[in-house]
Amino acid sequence: MRSIMTRQKLLEAAKEVFLEEGFQRATISQIIKKANVGYGTAYVHFEGKDDILIVLMEGVMDQFYHIAETPFFPTSKEEAEQVIEKQAYAFLKMAEAERGMMQVFEQAIGISPVVSDKWKEIRERFIQRISKDIAYSQQNGLARAALNHELVARGWFFANEMYLWEIVRNEHQASVEDIAKTITAIYTTGLYL
Amino acid sequence: MRSIMTRQKLLEAAKEVFLEEGFQRATISQIIKKANVGYGTAYVHFEGKDDILIVLMEGVMDQFYHIAETPFFPTSKEEAEQVIEKQAYAFLKMAEAERGMMQVFEQAIGISPVVSDKWKEIRERFIQRISKDIAYSQQNGLARAALNHELVARGWFFANEMYLWEIVRNEHQASVEDIAKTITAIYTTGLYL
């Protein structure tokens, strides 16, 4: 019980420190101090700041993954389009809502090889899920069957991911709604019959 | 005359050092030594390794940009598709051919803010060019006019760029040909009438 609370305290303190300092400048000592736990105890839970960051990243990305997990059994092209546009919009909107931590994640991905590997693992999970949805649509005669569903899924995720980072960096010029609408229109018209 | 040769010697030496050491480990001293020029002379040409790297990156990316610059005045959807598939294929194939230096660039983009800014500038150049091609197709009644051509161009470039880095890292599972075919099919079917 106490152990779970200590872990939680460390995660909350880490979030604050990362948001204030960024990933590069943040130190494990700052996090332990802010969490107000003992050094020995802290290291029972986490090996270092990369380790804590990964747990925080998994937490945020699970929220994103919930969006990708929307039950997807469309019966028409129009229905598929509607669901996919909603998903793309929610995905990009969440990047906006979680901007602070997403900026920390982006920096960490660039610096830490273990965080970068974790990000790749998260990306593959999304791509596999999208891939499954495309295969379902192909099997039900809604989507062009000649296209390799995994390659299509990767391309689609890549476009979403790059827009996500633009939004995180506040570099996007258009509204999230216009971005989601436009990329979905190309994708669904290209894929669905 | 001698000045141009010195610059060239430095660029060639830098390429060798970067390929051997990677961007992070490479030092300006190693480059100057390999080029066999004086320190003072070297610093007349380049401020540091970031500076040299950027010139090398511009050189390689100019080759890529040549592909994007293919005259594009399609008269039908089929013609547009053919040209675009060729471009995507050539773009990804070149990533394979220039893998060594592209790996150096990827590392440098992650480490150096000036290199990262340069990469963004190069990306925008591609996107503006693609954007122009889309606008041309829309004006000529070949492509869906309701779509924002710049947002479409960004999404399309993003999918290509992410596949490019996968190829550079040797992480791609499918052939370059299959990748180019699949993403082009989605894109051109989605965009062209």
What is the separation, in whole angstroms, between the first and last Cα of chain B?
A: 54
Of the candidates A48, A60, A45, A55, which has an alpha carbon nearest to the alpha carbon of residue A103?
A60
Q: CA B92, A64, A179: angle at the middle one, nearest 5?
A: 60
Of the candidates A21, A16, A23, which has an alpha carbon nearest to the alpha carbon of residue A109?
A23
Tokens of B6: 């010195």
Report ipTM (2 d.p.). 0.94
Task: Report the run of H or E that residue B147 belongs to, with start and end.
Answer: none
* Cβ–Cβ < 8 Å for A164, A92: yes
Q: CA A74, A80, A85: angle at the middle one, nearest 5?
A: 145
Q: Does domain A1-46 have CATH number 1.10.10.60?
A: yes
Nearest CA in chain A to B176: A151
| Averaged pLDDT for residues B156-160 | 98
Residue B1 has pLDDT above 80, yes or no: no
Given A110, A182, A190, which is nearest B148 (Cβ)? Answer: A182
State whether residue B152 sits within 8 Å of chain A by CB. yes
* 3-state DSSP of chain A: CHHHHHHHHHHHHHHHHHHHHHHHHCCHHHHHHHHCCCHHHHHHHCCCHHHHHHHHHHHHHHHHHHHHCCCCCCCCHHHHHHHHHHHHHHHHHHHHHCHHHHHHHHHHHHHCHHHHHHHHHHHHHHHHHHHHHHHHHHHCCCECCCCCHHHHHHHHHHHHHHHHHHHHCCCCCCCHHHHHHHHHHHHHHHHEC
Whole-number Cα distances in Å, B157 to A119, B43, B122, B150 = 21, 36, 12, 10
Given A110, A178, A187, which is nearest B186 (Cβ)? Answer: A187
Map out the domains of chain B as residue ranges: 1-46, 49-191
Question: Cβ of B185 and A190 within 8 Å?
Answer: yes
Mean pLDDT of chain B: 96
Tell me how far apart the alpha carbons of residues B17 and A34 are, in angstroms, rounded to a whole number: 44
- Each residue's pLDDT tens digit, B98-154: 999 999 999 999 889 999 999 999 999 999 999 999 999 999 999 999 999 999 999
Residue B157 has pLDDT above 80, yes or no: yes
Question: Cβ of A154 and B161 within 8 Å?
Answer: no
Question: Cβ of A148 and B182 within 8 Å?
Answer: yes
Given A147, A182, A183, which is nearest B182 (Cβ)? Answer: A147
DSSP labels, B44-105: HH-SSHHHHHHHHHHHHHHHHHHHHTS----SSHHHHHHHHHHHHHHHHHHHHHTHHHHHHH
Question: In chain B, what residues touch A150 (CB-CB under 8 Å)?
Answer: 173-174
Question: Cβ of A151 and B159 within 8 Å?
Answer: no
Nearest CA in chain A to B180: A151
Q: Which residues pair with A143 in a beta bridge?
A: A192
pLDDT < 70 regions, chain A: none
How many other CB atoms are there within 10 angstroms of residue B87's CB atom?
20
pLDDT at A14 (0 to 100): 98
Tell me how far apart the alpha carbons of residues B84 and B157 are, in angstroms, rounded to a whole number: 12
* Cβ–Cβ < 8 Å for A147, B186: yes
Whole-number Cα distances in Å, A44 to A17, A38, A177, B82 = 20, 10, 44, 59
- Each residue's pLDDT tens digit, A153-193: 999 999 999 999 999 999 999 999 999 999 999 999 999 99
A49-191, CATH topology level: Tetracycline Repressor; domain 2 (1.10.357)
State whether residue B155 sits within 8 Å of chain A by CB. yes
State whether residue A159 sits within 8 Å of chain B by CB. yes
State whether residue A97 sits within 8 Å of chain B by CB. no
- Each residue's pLDDT tens digit, B45-79: 999 999 999 999 999 999 999 998 989 999 999 99
pLDDT at B24 (0 to 100): 95
Chains A, B: CB pairs < 8 Å: 93
The amino acid at A179 = I
Tell me how far apart the alpha carbons of residues B34 and A90 are, in angstroms, rounded to a whole number: 53
Whole-number Cα distances in Å, B29 to A146, B40, B45, B100, B182 = 54, 12, 14, 21, 46
Question: In chain B, what residues touch A158 (CB-CB under 8 Å)?
Answer: 158-159, 161-163
The amino acid at A184 = T
Report, in this order, helix, strand and coil percent for chain B, each rounded to 5.
80, 0, 20
* Cβ–Cβ < 8 Å for A160, A91: yes
Tell me how far apart the alpha carbons of residues B138 and B134 are, in angstroms, rounded to a whole number: 6
Instruction: Indicate which of A152, A158, A164, A178 best probes the interface with B, i.e. most B CBs within 10 Å of its own CB.
Output: A158
pLDDT at B70 (0 to 100): 87
Chain centroid to Cα A96, Å, comes to 12
